[in-house]
Amino acid sequence: MGSLLHPVGAQPARVYWARRAVLLGALVLLIVIGFALFRPPGTGNVAAVPAPSVTTPTQASPTSTPPATGTPTPTPTGPVTCDQTNSDLALAGYQKVKQDGKQAFRVAVTNTGKQPCVLDLKASNFSLLVTSGTDRIWTTDHCAKWVPAKKQTLKPQKSYEFTLQWGVNRSMPDCKQSKTQLRPGTYVASATFVENLKGRQVFQVTKAG
């Protein structure tokens, strides 16, 4: 103990005290370092990390589609064509005609609809035929000019009338007609307009004189 408090040596006493201070300081430093290395880690407050929020997708409600509606049929605003849907055809003539006489066939096209219709009568859509049994005697198909072409607007319940003169003879192509008299008997006249409108007249051909 005495040597620690009172150093003995050839050097001055302050030298020995300086050395001891250095050694003591180094010892303290080693102790501090050792304590810092081997001290168990502290448990600090751990901040809680919030869990990510999960958004449940909302199911979209189906869009309601209005029911499809059919396109309405437009109502005609102007005159329509006179045809089998809105018209009627009538044919009349003498009940008896002599061999050397003439038959006057009266034809009438009537608008039976509720609105005006356009009548377009011509040789391509109208014909008159005279027959005797299966024998074709006379027809306007042999001559287009025998049909009086006409185009006009017919008001509802109004008619267009015209007359066809027949010479009680046979017709031939190219507007030709025979001068030979027909035999007495029963004959039938048939008129046709736009294919489906038909009129019919039965009559007798009698002897001349």
- Per the domain annotation, does 51 fall within a domain? no
- Residue 79: alpha-carbon gap to chain centroid: 25
pLDDT at 31: 75
pLDDT at 46: 41
Residues 112 and 169 in one domain: yes
- Per the domain annotation, does 47 fall within a domain? no
User: What is the phi-psi region of residue 168: left when phi exceeds 0, alpha when psi lies from -120 to 50, beta otherwise?
Assistant: left
Residues 93 and 193 in one domain: yes
Domain extent at residue 23: 8-37
- Per the domain annotation, does 184 fall within a domain? yes
Residues in the chain with pLDDT values less than 70: 1-17, 20, 32, 34-78
pLDDT at 76: 54
Q: What is the reported pTM? A: 0.62
pLDDT at 66: 55
Kindly report the CA angle at 121 between 192 and 199, in degrees rounded to 5?
25
pLDDT at 209: 77
pLDDT at 158: 97
Domain count along the chain: 2
